[in-house]
């Protein structure tokens, strides 16, 4: 298969299907070999379709056993069927039903799309186009049908039989087999179909909805794991309550089930009433899960649950509208986590993720709008841009129109589009109406790729008592989009006075100002504040009010001032990050010339004061201690990047902080209460984050005593957060105690796959010359398998994305290794292969030697035959 000529799908070509599918009845007979699926699909001709118009169904690697029309076998010349298409040449004019039987082999389905097996459990993944690997269908999101599913399997192999909707019937099927029938009353697109059959343990609970309906909840896991699902169940109940309170959304079936499987391409999937999860986002106990894992579980459980309304009850008309459900649902899960935990801490964490994942995407060869207009492989558009930037766009909308109009717009959206397959235009129209505002210019955020830059200049006129900000936006060119229009950009601001409080002003001109938000609409605004008593320090983009790169050019002393005094916690953190970034960039340039990076003492002292301030949230103080990462610095440098120079600069700044702040960091460590019981809440997580950040910075200095203390912390740890933090510091610092700690870890946790992932990732991300050899050797470790996406991502994915110096080794060996893995995975699991390949996206920003090595590795991937559409699409765009 030569797929680089795959035709692009275009938004502009959208047309509804010729036929609709009101109902589907599936009969699934699961067996060790040769699973049979019989689908009875009812069709009706849509208005405007001429009678007899041919019916073309999608398929993918299908094997048709039999075909019947309205119960009678189809004559061979009445249809054609291949692995990827079924055509009924002359359908009846009135409603009709096709009964198609396909034979599947789930055990050899290594793509993990369609029906496959994960350690013995049969499960499905249908988004985006997996249903066509189960039966021939109109496999697109604007075809909504009511499903009834009868499934049958061996009673011992699969005592548990689950599908979407409500259970209707179950019983014996003879021969040691049994069956279950499920019915989902809510019409849904095929991508939301799911079934699970296996020998699973369950935790049950119930939820009473706001209108008093009882919902039976179940979380299904492999036997032995049921003790680890309590937190996920609790998060589910909190999500259900929160969606009622925050958005007025009630659950709509009698049961809600979650199943955790070990082999899963993504995080989790919102199938109606039957969410299927990567077990990483379900299983947790303090011994194997970190605080970050707990927070991830809470967020993903919420995310998938929230899809029940934003995604399922209202779905997408076509895959170009993916952000309609994803951006909105990410926004909703972010709000949920903010309410459950600390809002500023959550915001800082989300912005860090956006900058480290979405900004490089938006600034590189894979840049695309939040709503793309063309794709070759839809799997490659489940991106940080669609998800995270998509959520930022919703957040800006809320900032611009205000909380109340936003809520009215959401209510209108749910009311008007329930049951629809909708578009971004449908969505925005609800807010335009609710806010009585024209959102046409705002809608550019959905169409234009690229991260805007906002350059700011300031002037204070003491005589006139005016303060002037000149704000200039530029939206950079991106692939296929050379010219851009200005965006509507909300700038939440404060004018910080000498006492640290926000100063008043007597009026503004030059831009619309709504409360504390300046609304930019033009390429350039000169905003004049009247009646300003003295020169303020501007605090702009508070709370990261827009996904842009501000360039305010504040002095070191202004930034240190904001770091200490800004009333907005996000901007205190931002000021600190900006300062650190300035030093890191200067340090990287210095290191490149063979010089020594230097840290600004005033910055480190301000940092020390904040970090030592017990009145502040420990989680916030921990975030302050985390200086921007090496990849962030590389992005800031933009081109001619030498990752070794960046790493040297990064190390030097951390050593400087660790050295100068030794007293306060030691006090934090000493104040830890080792007997404190573990609770996975925000407060406990914050305390641990601060202690571990302190320990890590002290270890960065390489002092023997600090390393000894870490080794002791590793051995004494009573939870995975502390254990993994200590292990990471030891291994990454190449401490003498590192190998013994790694051995002890795998000795104890070698049988727990999610803990093995941490062990693999710690080694893969070590910035050491021997790391690549280790990683290569670990691919042969009995606990590792390329068949499992989590193992593969933990070892190879984290090496490629989180180990900048070793992936981008000057000799090209890191690139070659990852390219070999991509080539190998391309045959078994193209989706995972394509994701790992994305690590090359910034290859053009390396210095010339590394750039040439990366390009050679990319060309070797491009030359592979056959090459999956997933990998072909990414490699072509990356090289373009
Ligand atoms: N729709 C899933 C989610 O975000 C993601 C997903 C996409 C899962 C494709 C599997 C396949 O929530
Ligand atoms: Zn989602």
Q: In CATH terms, are 9-199 and 453-554 the same topology?
A: yes
352-384 burial: b if 16+ Cβ within 10 Å, else e: bebbbbbbbbbbbbbbbbbbbeebbbbbbbbbb
CA of 307 to the centre of ligand 2 (A): 7
Q: Which residues have a beta carbon within 5 Å of ligand 2, which is an ion?
A: 326, 329
Q: Is the CB of 191 under 6 A from ligand 1?
A: no
269 CA from centroid of ligand 1 (Å): 5
Q: How far is residue 314's CA from residue 415's CA, in Å, rounded to a whole number?
A: 10
- C-alpha 194/C-alpha 598 separation (Å) is 56
Give the closest residue to 316 by CA, choosing from 142, 443, 145: 142
Q: What is the widest separation between alpha-carbon atoms in the chain? A: 95
| CA–centroid distance for 18 within its chain | 35
Q: Which residue among 125, 127, 307, 379 has the greatest number of ligand 1 atoms within 8 angstroms of its CB, and so is best to mutate?
A: 127
Q: Nearest residue CA, atom 3 of ligand 1?
A: 269
Is 266's C-beta closer than 6 angstroms to any atom of ligand 1? yes
Residue nearest to atom 8 of ligand 1 (CA): 269
Write the residue with the smallest CA distance to atom 2 of ligand 1.
269
In angstroms, rounded to a whole number, what is the distance separating the alpha carbons of residues 262 and 271? 17
Residue 1 predicted with pLDDT over 60: no
In this structure, which residue's CA is closest to atom 5 in ligand 1? 269
Rounded distance from Cα 329 to ligand 2 centre (Å): 6
**Helix, strand, coil % over all residues of the chain, rounded to 5:** 45, 20, 35
CB proximity list for 438: less than 8 A, separation 6 or greater: 432
How far, in Å, CA of 109 to CA of 93, rounded? 38
Q: Is 333 in the pocket of ligand 1 (CB under 6 A)?
A: no
List the domain boundaries for the chain: 9-199, 315-447, 453-554, 750-880
Task: Compute the distance between CA of residue 76 and CA of residue 528 in angstroms, rounded to an integer.
Answer: 78
Our CA angle for 858, 861, 867, nearest 5°, is 145
Question: Does the 315-447 domain belong in CATH 1.10.390.10?
Answer: yes
Distance 372 CA to ligand 1 centre (A): 17
CA distances from 847 to 640, 671, 854 (A): 4, 45, 11
Residue 846 CB–ligand 1 contact under 6 Å: no
- CATH architecture of residue range(s) 453-554: Sandwich (2.60)
Spatial contact of 770 and 295, defined as CB atoms under 8 Å apart: no
Q: How far is the CA of 165 from the centre of ligand 2 (A)?
A: 19
- Tell the residue nearest (CA) to atom 11 of ligand 1: 127
Best CA proximity match to 838, nearest among 365, 264, 390, 319:
365
Q: Out of 127, 270, 298, 304, pick the active-site residue.
A: 304
Is 269 near ligand 1, meaning CB less than 6 Å away? yes
pLDDT-based confidence at 674, cuts 50/70/90? Answer: confident
**Ligand 1 touching residue 270 (CB < 6 A):** yes
Q: Is 642 in the pocket of ligand 1 (CB under 6 A)?
A: no
pLDDT digits (tens, 9 = 90+) for 70-92: 999 999 999 999 999 999 999 99
d(CA 585, CA 652) in angstroms, rounded, equals 12
Q: What does the DSSP 8-state code read for residue 355?
A: I
Closest ligand 1 atom to residue 379 Cα is 9
Residue 3: is its pLDDT beyond 50? Answer: no
b/e map 109-130, b = 16+ CB within 10 Å: bbbbbbbbbbeebbbbbbbbbb
SS3 30: coil
Whether the CB of 127 sits within 6 Å of ligand 1: yes
For the segment 40-71, what is each residue's pLDDT rounded down to a tens digit?
Answer: 999 999 999 999 999 999 999 999 999 999 99
Q: Is residue 75 within 8 Å of residue 85, measured between CB atoms?
A: no
Q: Which numbered atom of ligand 1 lies nearest the CA of 387?
A: 4
C-alpha atoms less than 13 angstroms from C-alpha of 77 in its C-beta half-sphere: 0
CA 583, CA 598: separation in Å to the nearest integer? 7
Instruction: From residue 431, give the alpha-carbon distance in Å to each of 320, 324, 371, 427, 649.
Output: 20, 14, 18, 7, 47
Torsions phi, psi for 8 (to 5 deg)? -80, 145
Sign of the C-alpha dihedral computed for residues 831, 835, 837 and 841 taken in this order: positive
Residue 2 has pLDDT above 80, yes or no: no
387 lines ligand 1 (CB under 6 A): no
Q: Indicate whether residue 328 lines ligand 1 (CB < 6 A).
A: no
- Tell me whether strands 549-551 and 453-461 are parallel, antiparallel or unpaired: parallel
Distance between CA atoms of residues 53 and 28, nearest Å? 30
CB neighbours of 73 closer than 8 A, spacing ≥ 6? 66, 67
Ligand 1: residue of 113, 270, 323 to mutate (most ligand atoms within 8 A of CB) is 270
Q: What are φ and ψ of residue 322, in 5° steps?
A: -50, -40
Q: How far apart are CA 504 and CA 843, in angstroms?
A: 48
DSSP state of 12: G
Q: State whether the beta carbon of 318 lies less than 6 angstroms from ligand 1.
A: no
Ligand 1 center to residue 448 CA distance, Å?
24
CB 233 within 8 A of CB 205: yes
Give the span between the Cα atoms of 350 and 333, in whole angstroms.
Answer: 11
Ligand nearest to the CA of 378: 1
E strands within 175-222?
Answer: 177-188, 195-198, 200-208, 214-222
- Mean pLDDT in residue range 755-772: 99
Residue nearest to atom 7 of ligand 1 (CA): 127
Residue with tokens 């601001």: 493
User: Which of 340, 279, 330 is CA-nearest to residue 307?
Assistant: 330
Residues forming beta bridges with residue 538, ordered by sequence position: 495
Best CA proximity match to 767, nearest among 700, 694, 852? 700
Q: State residue 513 phi and psi, 5-degree precision.
A: -120, 125
Give Cα separations from 803 to 56, 483, 500, 649, 736 (angstroms).
47, 35, 40, 15, 21
Query: Is 304 an annotated catalytic residue?
Result: yes
Q: Is residue 185 pLDDT above 50, yes or no?
A: yes
List the alpha helices (DSSP H) in 717-847: 720-732, 738-749, 753-764, 771-778, 789-792, 798-802, 804-807, 813-828, 830-837
Give the number of the ligand closest to the Cα of residue 271.
1
- Rounded-to-integer distance, Cα 84 and Cα 180, Å: 29
CB 382 less than 6 A from any atom of ligand 1: yes
Q: Which two tokens stand for residue 165?
A: 């909707």
What is the model's pLDDT at position 675?
85
Binding site membership of 281 for ligand 1 (Cβ less than 6 Å): no
Q: Report residue 843 as tokens.
A: 């290859």
* Spatial separation of the C-alpha atoms in residues 186 and 145, rounded to whole Å: 8
Ligand 1 neighbourhood includes 125 CB (under 6 angstroms): yes
Supply the DSSP string of 233-267, one letter for each residue. HHHHHHHHHHHHHHH-----SSEEEEEEES--SSS
Share of the chain above pLDDT 90, in %: 98
Q: From ligand 1's centre to the CA of 201, what distance in Å?
A: 24
Mean pLDDT throughout 360-380?
98
Spatial CA neighbour of 531 closest among 559, 558, 495, 561: 495
Q: Are 223 and 237 in contact (CB under 8 A)?
A: no
pLDDT band, residue 120 (cuts 50/70/90): very high
Residue located nearest, by CA, to atom 1 of ligand 1: 269
Cβ–Cβ under 8 Å, residues 543 and 347:
yes
Query: Rounded distance, CA 441 to CA 643, Å?
Result: 40
Long-range CB contacts for residues 456-462, cutoff 8 Å, separation at least 24: 456/538, 456/540, 456/550, 456/551, 456/552, 456/553, 457/553, 458/538, 458/552, 460/532, 460/534, 460/535, 460/536, 462/534, 462/535
Determine whether the shortest distance from the Cβ of 359 to ligand 1 is under 6 A. no
User: Both tokens of residue 562?
Assistant: 């904001």
In short, whether 873's Cβ falls inside 6 Å of ligand 1 is: no
How do residues 304-347 score in pLDDT, each as one tens digit? 999 999 999 999 999 999 999 999 999 999 999 999 999 999 99
Specify the DSSP class assigned to residue 65.
E
Taken in order 177, 183, 184, 187, the sign of the CA dihedral is positive
Distance, CA of 655 to CA of 565 (rounded, Å): 26
Measured CA distances, 206 to 203, 218, 252, 333 (Å): 10, 8, 14, 22
CA 434, CA 437: separation in Å to the nearest integer?
Answer: 8
Ligand 2 centroid, distance to 274 Cα (angstroms): 14
pLDDT, residue 6, reads 74
Residue 803 scores a pLDDT above 80: yes
Task: Provide the pLDDT for residue 670.
Answer: 96
The residue whose CB lies within 8 Å of the most ligand 1 atoms, and thus the one to mutate among 191, 269, 316, 832, is 269
**Tokens 């510091």 sit at which residue?**
729
One CATH from 1.25.50.10, 2.60.40.1180, 3.40.1710.10, 1.10.10.10 for 750-880: 1.25.50.10
pLDDT bin (cut points 50, 70, 90) of residue 5 is low
- How far is it, in rounded angstroms, from Cα 645 to Cα 584? 10
How many Å lie between the centroid of ligand 1 and the Cα of residue 507?
A: 48
Q: Helix, strand, or coil here: 7?
A: coil
User: What pLDDT digit, counting tens, does each position of 19-43 carry?
Assistant: 999 999 999 999 988 999 999 999 9
CA triple 263-830-7, angle to 5 deg? 140
% of the chain exceeding 70 in pLDDT: 99
Q: Token digits for 106?
A: 């789930």
CA of 569 to the centre of ligand 2 (A): 29
Is 9-199 a CATH 2.60.40.1730 domain? Answer: yes
Cis peptide bond N-terminal to 261, omega within 30: no
Beta carbons within 10 angstroms of residue 716's beta carbon:
11
CB proximity list for 233: less than 8 A, separation 6 or greater: 203, 205, 217, 219
Residue 148 CA, ligand 1 centroid: distance in Å: 23
- The SS3 assignment for 520 reads strand
State the closest ligand 1 atom to the C-alpha of 311, by its place in the atom list counted from 1: 1
CA of 264, closest atom in ligand 1: 10
């Amino acid at each position: 298969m030569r797929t680089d000529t795959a035709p692009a799908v275009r938004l502009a070509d959208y047309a509804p299907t010729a036929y609709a599918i009101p109902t589907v009845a599936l009969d699934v007979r699961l067996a060790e070999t040769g699973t049979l699926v019989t689908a009875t699909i009812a069709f009706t001709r849509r208005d405007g379709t001429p009678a007899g118009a041919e019916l073309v169904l999608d398929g993918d690697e299908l094997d048709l056993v039999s075909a019947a029309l309205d119960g009678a076998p189809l004559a061979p010349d009445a249809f054609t069927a291949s692995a990827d298409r079924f055509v009924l040449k002359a359908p009846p004019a009135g409603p009709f039903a096709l009964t198609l039987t396909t034979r599947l082999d789930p055990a050899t389905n290594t793509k993990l799309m369609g029906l496959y097996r994960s350690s013995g459990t049969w499960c499905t993944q249908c988004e985006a186009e997996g249903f066509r690997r189960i039966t021939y269908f109109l496999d697109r999101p604007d075809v909504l049908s009511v499903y009834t599913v009868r499934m049958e399997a061996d009673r011992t192999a699969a005592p548990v039989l689950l599908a979407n909707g409500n259970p209707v019937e179950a019983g014996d099927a003879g021969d040691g087999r049994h069956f279950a029938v499920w019915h989902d009353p809510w019409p849904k697109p095929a991508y939301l179909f799911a079934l699970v059959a296996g020998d699973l343990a369950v935790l049950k609970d119930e939820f009473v909805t706001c209108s008093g309906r009882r919902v039976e909840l179940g979380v299904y896991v492999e036997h032995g794991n049921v003790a680890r699902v309590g937190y996920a169940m609790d998060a589910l109940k909190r999500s259900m309550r929160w969606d009622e309170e925050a958005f007025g959304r009630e659950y709509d079936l009698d049961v809600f089930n979650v199943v955790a499987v070990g082999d899963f391409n993504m995080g989790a999937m919102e199938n109606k009433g039957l969410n299927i999860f990567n077990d990483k986002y379900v299983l947790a106990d303090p011994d194997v899960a970190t605080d970050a894992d707990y927070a991830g579980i809470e967020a993903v459980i919420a995310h998938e649950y929230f899809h029940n309304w934003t995604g399922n009850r209202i779905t997408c008309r076509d895959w170009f509208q993916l952000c309609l459900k994803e951006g909105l649902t990410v926004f909703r899960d972010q709000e949920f986590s903010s309410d459950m935990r600390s809002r500023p801490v959550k915001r800082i964490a989300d912005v860090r993720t956006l900058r480290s994942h979405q900004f490089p995407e938006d600034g590189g060869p894979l840049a695309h709008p939040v709503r793309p207009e063309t794709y070759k492989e839809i799997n490659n558009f489940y991106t940080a841009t669609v998800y995270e930037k998509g959520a930022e766009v919703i957040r800006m909308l809320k900032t611009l129109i205000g909380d109340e109009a936003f809520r009215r717009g959401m209510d209108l959206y749910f009311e008007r589009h329930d049951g629809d397959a909708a578009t971004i235009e449908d969505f925005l129209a609800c807010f335009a109406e609710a806010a009585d505002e024209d959102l046409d210019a705002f809608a550019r955020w959905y169409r234009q790729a690229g991260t805007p830059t906002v350059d700011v200049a300031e002037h204070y006129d003491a005589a006139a008592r005016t303060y002037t900000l000149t704000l200039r936006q530029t939206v950079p060119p991106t692939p296929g989009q050379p010219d851009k229009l200005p965006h509507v950009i909300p700038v939440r601001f404060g004018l910080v006075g000498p006492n640290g409080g926000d100063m008043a002003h007597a009026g503004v001109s030059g831009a619309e100002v709504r409360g504390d938000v300046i609304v930019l609409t033009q390429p350039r605004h000169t905003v004049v504040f009247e009646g300003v008593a003295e020169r303020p320090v501007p605090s702009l983009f508070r709370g990261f009010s827009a996904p842009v790169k501000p360039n305010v050019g504040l002095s070191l002393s202004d930034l240190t001032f904001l770091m200490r005094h800004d009333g907005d916690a996000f901007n205190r953190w931002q000021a600190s990050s900006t300062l650190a970034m300035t030093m890191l960039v200067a340090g990287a340039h210095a290191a490149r010339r063979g010089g020594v990076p230097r840290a600004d003492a005033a910055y480190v002292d301000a940092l020390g004061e904040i970090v030592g301030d017990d009145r502040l949230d420990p989680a916030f103080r921990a975030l302050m201690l985390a200086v921007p990462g090496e990849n962030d610095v590389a992005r800031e440098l933009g081109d001619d990047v030498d990752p070794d120079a960046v790493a040297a600069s990064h190390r030097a700044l951390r050593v400087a902080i660790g050295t100068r702040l030794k007293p306060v960091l030691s006090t934090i460590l000493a104040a830890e209460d080792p007997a404190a019981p573990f609770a996975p809440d925000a407060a406990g997580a914050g305390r641990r984050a601060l202690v571990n950040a302190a320990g890590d910075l002290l270890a960065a200095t390489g002092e023997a005593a600090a390393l000894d203390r870490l080794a002791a912390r590793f051995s004494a740890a009573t939870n995975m957060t502390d254990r993994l933090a200590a292990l990471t510091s030891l291994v990454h610092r190449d401490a003498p105690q590192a190998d013994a700690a790694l051995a002890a870890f795998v000795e104890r946790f070698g049988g727990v796959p999610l803990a093995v992932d941490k062990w693999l990732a710690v080694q893969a991300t070590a910035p050491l010359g021997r790391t690549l050899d280790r990683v290569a050797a670990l691919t042969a470790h009995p606990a590792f398998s390329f068949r499992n996406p989590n193992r593969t991502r933990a070892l190879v994915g984290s090496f490629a994305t989180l180990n900048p110096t070793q992936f981008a080794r000057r000799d090209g060996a890191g690139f070659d290794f990852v390219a070999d893995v991509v080539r190998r995975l391309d045959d078994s699991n193209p989706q995972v292969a394509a994701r790992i390949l994305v690590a090359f996206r910034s290859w053009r920003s390396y210095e010339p030697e590394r750039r040439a090595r990366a390009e050679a590795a990319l060309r070797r991937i491009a030359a592979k035959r056959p090459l999956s559409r997933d990998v072909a699409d990414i490699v072509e765009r990356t090289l373009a």
